[in-house]
Structure 1
Amino acid sequence: MLRSLIRLYLIVVIGGGLAIAFVNTSFSQLFHERVTQTERDADRTYAFVLEDYLQRHAGPERAAALEELKKHGSEGFRLMTTDEVEPLVGKRQWRELRDGKLVLDYDTTNYYLPLSDGIVVYARRGDSTTVEIQAFAYALLALATLLSVVVWVHYHWRELRKLEAAARAFGSGNLSTRAQSSTKSNIYELSQQFNEMARQIEASILHQREMMHGISHELKTPLARLEFGLALLLQSPESPERQRERQLALCKDVRELDELVTELLTLSRLEQGEGHLVLMQVSVDELIDSVAASMSNDVADRSLTLSVSTTGMTAAGADVGSLAARTPGARTPGARTPVARMPVSRTPAYHVCDPKLVARALLNLLRNSTRYARQAISLSAATGAAGTLVLIVEDDGPGIPLADRSRVFEPFHRLDSSRDRHTGGFGLGLAIVRRVALVHGGDVRLEEAASGGARFVITLPALALPLPANGSARQDVARHG
């Protein structure tokens, strides 16, 4: 604190000293006319007596009279002719001197008093303030400044010490530490920024810990099965058919591990932000149709119905017809159609996004819905405010309790109800959906469908292409990797 106090005090004292010096040297010239008039008014009687005294001692006696005056003051009287005074003053001062007025020089330290016979009396202005008084005044000013700086520094130093203690505690591992500052403090905004930073860091570290715990848990089960299966293959003599079954089970565990690693890598890339986005202008109808076509077999295998809802024109300009008529997996006449198109709200013809990531998010939502839907799933696209693209996936399953909706997008989070680990998956699908929405600058929310099931709503804002698109604006999004 002492070092900061000394630095601040030196800055204040030096700044104040420079200001005082500027006032003393420059203000007399800036306000010369006003100072001159004030001097005339203040010394009117003195000038009258001096002029009368010198007029009564004209001729040879005037020099002796001036010497007598010098004995009684420090003005340094001297007689000058008007020709000698002219180069020492300005034109305006010279005219005022010719008019019989007292004038001051530019420094306002000397004055010239014209007499009636043309002689000019030169003298120094008397200064009633002594050097001791001036020194005492400046010392008092410096002391007052010091006290003010000490009070100011002490108040803010106390707040800074609180912030320093909070930062030290947070750095030592106490992640719940927050800075406590008064709302009247000048560093209140800084402490709030520190608290927000601490909150985000705490949330990030806790998230990473949960991720590591979840990854460890997910890897442990297939690895244990692999270890057990390999031990059985090496030790137990079994028939070729039984060994074949065990080998297939081991391959299944390896594929499960590969899927988990792929999901984790995808989530990791998405958490790095917009650097991995490949933006392009995409036909919304083609994107939706491609996603629905990829899910048609899964939907049919589970005896479900997928309704695709968009309206408008295809990229080629033709009316959009029934998707079931051109979707692989559509059933023969008379059988239940697994995918059907139902025109509803207005959908933009094109939207700028990363088609692979958006398709991945929609596929994750649809796969999630196929696990829990009883009979029907719907996929729809519509236009929101300011040109946003709204994508909706809902099912008629058991739904998700309101208390659990805020956590379903967390990695490895599973519910204790019917939507749990036994239905398949690693608990990363919805986390990837959320990250896809966030890297596009949008969001995703979970609502309750009219049927009581889950309703996921992805909102993607209108984006601009980073570079002019080459070739056709329509992009092939049939492959989503």
Structure 2
Amino acid sequence: MFKHSIFLRIYAGLLILMVLVACSGYILTQMINYQRAQEYRESLTDGMAYIISEGIARQPNRQQKEDWISDASSLLGIPIFYVGADQVALSRAELRRIEQQKAVVRYEAENGVAYVVMGIKNDPQHYLYAQIEEITEQQMKFLPVFIQDYLAYYSGQEAKYLANIQQHFSYPVTIQSIRDLDLDSEQLSRLRLGNGIILYRDNASIRGTTISIISPLERDPSQAIVIGSVPLFNWMPFELAAGITLLSLFILSLGVYGLMIPMQAKLREVNRALDQMQGGDLSVRLPVDGTDELANLATSYNNMAEHIQRLIEAQRELMRAVSHELRTPVARIRFALEMLVDEDDYDYRVQQMDMIDKDIEALNTLIDEIMTYAKLEQGMPSLDFEQVSLFEVLDQVLIETEALKTGKVLELIAPPIGLEVETERRYLHRVIQNLVGNAVRYAETQVIMSGGLNADGMAYICVEDDGPGIPLEERERVFEAFARLDDSRTRASGGYGLGLSIVSRIAYWFGGEIRIDESPRLGGARFVMTWPPGRPTKKK
């Protein structure tokens, strides 16, 4: 059942797709978080890398530089090494960061250790190489010490130079009055004792938990260096990410299911209609709503049902008409054969044989007409479209008709000799031949043929006669198979009532139409067939 249900396959595909989306989303989130964490680590170290670089650059000789680095390592509680630049392999992007006086951070997730490489101002031959396993309160409390060491060279201008170095920090570093800080008594006491404090604050906004480091200014204890607030890195918890992803996929699946329900209902209607068609009921038609694929399916079904219904009705009508039309020549042949049995007169026997031969020829003609009509009625025949000279086909039919010695005057109003249209020559010849034959049969004295391109750019052929014409209310019926009019165009005029039906079907498959009106020149009937001069689109 699963493999036969398109909707089960769609739902299974959607489930697999949602799993793939969830896995891809998780992997992408991890990659983004890794990149965010790397940028966060670098943003925390860039400012201090600049301050430490400035502090080392102020030392006059190598020994004092190494002593300064040793003191810094002890204060921060992390190993810091003074190494040659050739001992550290850096990428092009990392070298660019060093040139911009920023830090290079390499984090090893396996052992949770970050390696920090810092450049030294005016000493491109050496780097500082630090190993940080974790960030402690000791390190945070001593960060202001390095900033104060830098500002000690600019006594009285601390605020100005602090503003100058702000560009190297991704978080604010300011000098503020202690009285302006929102601190409790215990925190104020620790500041008066010269100790730094660390403030953790929870924020309901996107920043989350933040850290601020406050250290009293040595030159003026009433003021303090305030670092931060610095937001803690916010990893998106796996449970939260998974929950959001699953909820989103669930809502998506509900939406897709809601979109599928109307489609299922429409397909059930198609199935019901097909079941009724299988049972013999061809009257069911599907409602066509919109212009989507299902609407196209409904339209195709309706067209198919109408075509099948028309074919069945045409087949029934054809069987009734054929049985009727065949009886007359068959009865004449049987009568003639019975007459021959007892007849000894040779001339009379020859006369009867000639009549039998004519009846057999009539049967052959009728069968040929029936086969042609059936082929055109069942579906689009194999049409070999080519560029055809309209004048040549009209002139050919004119010559063939005059050779029959009909006693009628045939006139051709010829189109330009060089005019060519894309059509099927054999069927176009059949159309003109049928129309001219029909006109000759009912004309009094004259028939006019013409063709060309009309004002709308459509190819056309026109056949007119000076006969009695066709009443307006009968003009549609003459194109029905085996139809004959009761007044002016009687059975005595000959034919089987299939010629105009064949013309109508050929016009349909050419993508055109055939119409009847009154001839303005001769007063009789005028038949005009029009069709696109290019290749028509295939019809169902």
Using the size of structure 1 for normalisation, the TM-score is: 0.65
CA change 1:463–1:192 in 2 (3 A) is closer
**Corresponding residue for 1:217?**
324
SS at match of 1:120: strand
**Corresponding residue for 1:402?**
472
**Corresponding residue for 1:173?**
280
1:120 to 115, 122, 130: 130
**Corresponding residue for 2:296?**
189
CA change 1:12–1:279 in 2 (3 A) is closer
Give the superposition deviation at 1:152: 2.3
1:461-472 residue pairs with structure 2 within 5 A? 462=533
Q: Distance in 2 between matches of 1:4 and 1:12?
A: 12
CA change 1:186–1:38 in 2 (3 A) is farther
1:433 equivalent in alignment to 2:503: yes
1:260 equivalent in alignment to 2:260: no
Q: Distance in 1 between matches of 2:108 and 2:24?
A: 18
1:453 equivalent in alignment to 2:454: no
1:309 equivalent in alignment to 2:413: yes
Which of the pair is proportionally richer in strand?
2
**Corresponding residue for 1:472?**
none
Give the superposition deviation at 1:283: 7.8
SS at match of 1:418: coil
Deviations 1:214-235 (A, max 9, x none): 323322332233334445555x
Give the superposition deviation at 1:257: 0.6
Amino acid of the residue matched to residue 363 of structure 2?
A: L
**Corresponding residue for 2:22?**
17
**Corresponding residue for 1:74?**
none
Look at both structures and tell me which one has the larger radius of gyration over its CA atoms: 2
Task: Please say if residues 295 and 366 of structure 1, whose CA atoms lie closer than 8 Å, have aligned partners that are also in contact.
Answer: no
1:227 equivalent in alignment to 2:227: no
286-295 or 108-117: bigger deviation:
108-117
1:251 to 339, 354, 357: 357
CA change 1:445–1:81 in 2 (3 A) is farther
Unaligned 5+ segments in structure 2 are 50-67, 121-126, 135-231, 536-540
Q: Distance in 2 between matches of 1:204 and 1:407?
A: 17
Q: Distance in 2 between matches of 1:158 and 1:422?
A: 58
Task: Please say if residues 308 and 378 of structure 1, whose CA atoms lie closer than 8 Å, have aligned partners that are also in contact.
Answer: yes
SS at match of 1:426: coil
Unaligned 5+ segments in structure 1 are 48-54, 67-77, 311-345, 465-481
Give the superposition deviation at 1:193: 3.1
Q: Distance in 2 between matches of 1:102 and 1:453?
A: 103
Task: Please say if residues 115 and 129 of structure 2, whose CA atoms lie closer than 8 Å, have aligned partners that are also in contact.
Answer: no
Deviations 1:102-148 (A, max 9, x none): 65558999765679994534357966544433443333233223322
380-389 or 166-175: bigger deviation:
380-389
Q: Distance in 2 between matches of 1:354 and 1:61?
A: 100
Give the superposition deviation at 1:20: 0.7
Q: Distance in 1 between matches of 2:71 and 2:531?
A: 102
Task: Please say if residues 80 and 119 of structure 1, whose CA atoms lie closer than 8 Å, have aligned partners that are also in contact.
Answer: yes
Give the superposition deviation at 1:13: 0.7
1:417 equivalent in alignment to 2:505: no
1:373 to 443, 456, 459: 443
Identity %: 27
Task: Please say if residues 273 and 439 of structure 1, whose CA atoms lie closer than 8 Å, have aligned partners that are also in contact.
Answer: yes
Task: Please say if residues 89 and 106 of structure 1, whose CA atoms lie closer than 8 Å, have aligned partners that are also in contact.
Answer: no
Task: Please say if residues 513 and 529 of structure 2, whose CA atoms lie closer than 8 Å, have aligned partners that are also in contact.
Answer: yes
Task: Please say if residues 507 and 530 of structure 2, whose CA atoms lie closer than 8 Å, have aligned partners that are also in contact.
Answer: yes
CA change 1:206–1:228 in 2 (3 A) is same
SS at match of 2:479: coil
Amino acid of the residue matched to residue 348 of structure 1?
A: I
Give the superposition deviation at 1:294: 2.7
CA RMSD of aligned residues (A): 4.7
CA change 1:387–1:192 in 2 (3 A) is closer
Higher relative contact order (CA 8 A, sep 6+): 1
Task: Please say if residues 163 and 180 of structure 1, whose CA atoms lie closer than 8 Å, have aligned partners that are also in contact.
Answer: no
Give the superposition deviation at 1:384: 3.6
Using the size of structure 2 for normalisation, the TM-score is: 0.59
Amino acid of the residue matched to residue 376 of structure 1?
A: Q
1:4-43 residue pairs with structure 2 within 5 A? 4-27=9-32, 32=35
